[in-house]
Structure 1
Amino acid sequence: MRIEIARDSLTQALHDVIQAVAVAYTQPTLQGIRIRADLDGVTLMSAHAHMSVRIRLPRNDASVTVEKVGSIVVSLHYLYHILRKLDHKSVILEIKQPLLLAIVSGSFRMRLCGMDDSEFSCFESGKEASSVRLRINSAIFRSSIKQVAGAAATSDSRPVLTGVLLEYDQGRLRLTAADGIRLASRTLEVDDPADHSVTAIIPAKSVQAISKMLEQADETMEVEIGRSRITFVAGCLEIESVLIQGTFPSVKNMDSEVFLCECRIDRVGLLHATEGVTIMAGEKIIRLAANQNRLHLSSKKAEIGEAENEVPVHAMTGEGFVLSLNGKLLTEILRSSDCAELRIRYAGSMAPLVICPEDSSESTLFLITSVRISESFSA
C-alpha cells in the first residue's frame, strides 16, 4: 500500500474515527485503526464491541492519491496525535515491509508497527433484513442529543436507563433519556417518513460520540434501525452502534397538563443563580421558592455557611411553590437547553418539576424529581 493524502483531511477523519476506540479493551486491534486503500479511495475504520466508525475518502478527491492498494491496522492514538503536530500539507503512508507502516510528511519520518487487519473486529455482516429507514436533519439531531443524552443513567444497575430511547411513529421521532431522578425528551419531524413504527434503545455513550462526529452543517443523514443495531450515514461517514435489549420504562403522561403553578423565567439568569447557590449546597440540594415577582434560590452547608440568590419572574399563573431539588442536575438541564426563556410548571410536592421552552412550538421537555428534606432552609 502507498497513498498520499492531504494532512488536514486525514487528521479530521482520524478525529472522527477515534471516537470508537476502546482503550480499556485488551485486544490490540481494538485500539487501532484500519487503513485500507483500493482503486476507489481510502477507507479508515475503528471499532469496538458497541460501535464502529467508517470514513470513506474517495480517490477522485484532489486530496487523495492511491498509488498502490493494500491495508494495515496501526495505533490510532499515535498516528492521530503525531499528525496534529505536523505542518506539511500532505502525508505519504506506505507499507514498506509486512506489518510496518512508513509515514512521511515533509522532512518528518516515522514507522509504526502494524497488525494484520484480518483480526480486526468490525460490523461487516451485512444489513439486517427487517429495518426501518429514516432521513433526519443532522444539525437538529445533534442538538437533540445534546439536550437529551445527559439525562441517561451512568450506573449499569438498570442497563436500559444507560441508553437513549428512540421512538418513531407517523413521521415523528422522539428521543428520551431518564435516570430515575430526571428525564429529558425531544420530538423531531422526520424529513422522509417511513411506513412502519419502531422503538430502539441506543447506548448514551455511543449516541453522544455520534453527535460529535456529525458535522454542524445543515444536511440530511440516513438512519437505519434494525433489531440489534442502528446505522447512521452522513456523506462519507458511516457509524454503527449496537442497541440495548430490554424495555424502557413507560414515560407517558409524566408531563401532566394540570399544574398548580406555571412561571416564565430567563434561562441564563436562572442558570447563573443555580450555579452559585449549588456551590454551597450540602449534598447538592437547593431550595426554590416562587412567588409572583421572583424565584428565590437558597442553600446551606453545615459548618460552612449558606447562599441565596433571586431571579425575576416574567409571568406567573397559579399560586407560588416551595420545593427542594438537586442543584447539580438542575444546572445540567439548564446548560443543555438552548432557548432564551423557560416555563417552569409545578404540579405538587409529589410530582416532578416540569421545565420546557417558553416557545410552544419547541418540543423539548425536562422533568426533575423534587427531594424531601428534614432540615429547614432559611429564606
Structure 2
Amino acid sequence: MVKKTVVLGVTGGIAAYKAAQLTSDLKKKDLDVHVIMTRNATEFVSPLTFETLSGHRVSVDTFDRNFEYHVQHVSLAKQADVFVVAPATANVIAKFAHGLADDMLTTTFLACSCPKIICPAMNTGMLENPATQENLRLLKTRGMRVVEADSGLLACGDVGKGRLAPLAAIEDEIEQALFTEKPLSGLKVLVSAGPTQEALDPVRYLTNHSSGKMGYALAKAARNWGAEVTLVHGPTTLPPVRNVADMPVTSAQSMAETLLMYVEDSDLIIKAAAVADYTPIEMAAQKIKKSEGEFQLTLKRTQDILKTIGERKREDQVVCGFAMETEQLLEHARAKLESKHADMIVANDLREHGAGFGIDTNRVTVLTAQGEESLPIMRKEELAYALLERCLTILKEKREK
C-alpha cells in the first residue's frame, strides 16, 4: 500500500514545539511526513528536530541551492495528500487568505490543491481581532478546514482562547481529510457504544467492563467514510468523536429511548453497546446502609433493544448487533442473529487472547444469514472498516432487490 503524504507547515509561535510531537504521532500512523518551517519557526525549534522525526530534510528557504533538480515547492505540493499548518500564526493566516507567497511555506501552500487544515495558535487578542476572524472565515469559505484554537493559560500569561488545539483533535482532522473515498456518503449511521449504569441508590450502580472503544471506532470510521453519524453511548472515559452527533446516556432505559428516536431515520444501525440485561426493580431513595447478614437485590429485565429494533426494521435498513460470550460462542451468536431479527452479528469470546473489554484489539466472527466468517486479530480501528464494509454489502444487496 502506498503511504499517504502529509505536508506539515510550522510557523513562528511558541506552540511550534508541539508540532514535533505531531510529527512523531503521524509517523507512528505510517504516514510520510514532510515539514516546511518559516524562518521565525526555526527560532523556536531546530529543523534538525523535525528532520530526525520525519526522516526528510526540512524546507525553509525558497532559494536554497542544496536541492535535487526540481522546483521544490511544486514537487511537495504535488506529493501532498493533505497539508496541515500547526501552529498557524495570525501572520501566515493573513497571507493564506490573501494569496501572498513570500517564503517556502506560503508558496507551497498556494501551489497545493489537496485538502488543507489550519490550526490557529496565538494571543487571544490577535485571534479575536476582526481581521483575523475575517481571514479565517475566508479560508473556511474556500473549503479549508480550521481546527479551532483551545482555551487556557497562554504563553503570554493571559487566560483565554488561543492555545493550539489538542494534538488528538488535529490528528483526527488529518485522518478525516485523508479519506477521499466516501462509500457511506448520503447514508445515516446509528451506533451505540459503552456500558450502561443501573442505579441501586444515589451512590451505587450495576455496570460492566465495556470501555466503548469498539463502538467509538465504528462511529469514527463511518464518519471518515462520509456518513452522517449519531453515536449514543453510555458513560466512558473516551474523548468525544469529532463531527458526529454525540448522545450521552446512562441507563439501559435511557439508551433504549434515545436509540429508538433515531432508528426510523437511519440506514445502518450498529448496536455495539454492552447494555445491562437487568436493572433494580426500584432505586433506593437513600444510600443503602450495610448491616449484618446477607443483602438481597431484586432485579427485573431491561428492554431488549436489539430485538425491538430488529422487529421494527424496514427492508432497506441493516441492523448489526454484537455478542460477547465466554462459552459456545457460535451457538449463542447464531441464536441471537435469528431471535433478534438482525442482519449481522459480530461475535467474540471474552476469554480469547486479544479480544474482550478495554483493549485496543479484537478478534471476531461475523455471522449473517449466508454463513460465518472468522476475521484475524486486528486493531479495533481497522476492524471497524471491515465491519462497515460488510454492512454496506448487505445494504446494497437489499436495495438492489
Please indicate, yes or no, whether the TM-score normalized by the shorter chain is above 0.5: no
TM norm structure 2: 0.26
TM norm structure 1: 0.27
Q: Pick the structure with more helix per residue.
A: 2
Q: Pick the structure with more strand per residue.
A: 1
User: Higher relative contact order by CA 8 Å / sep ≥ 6: 1 or 2?
Assistant: 1
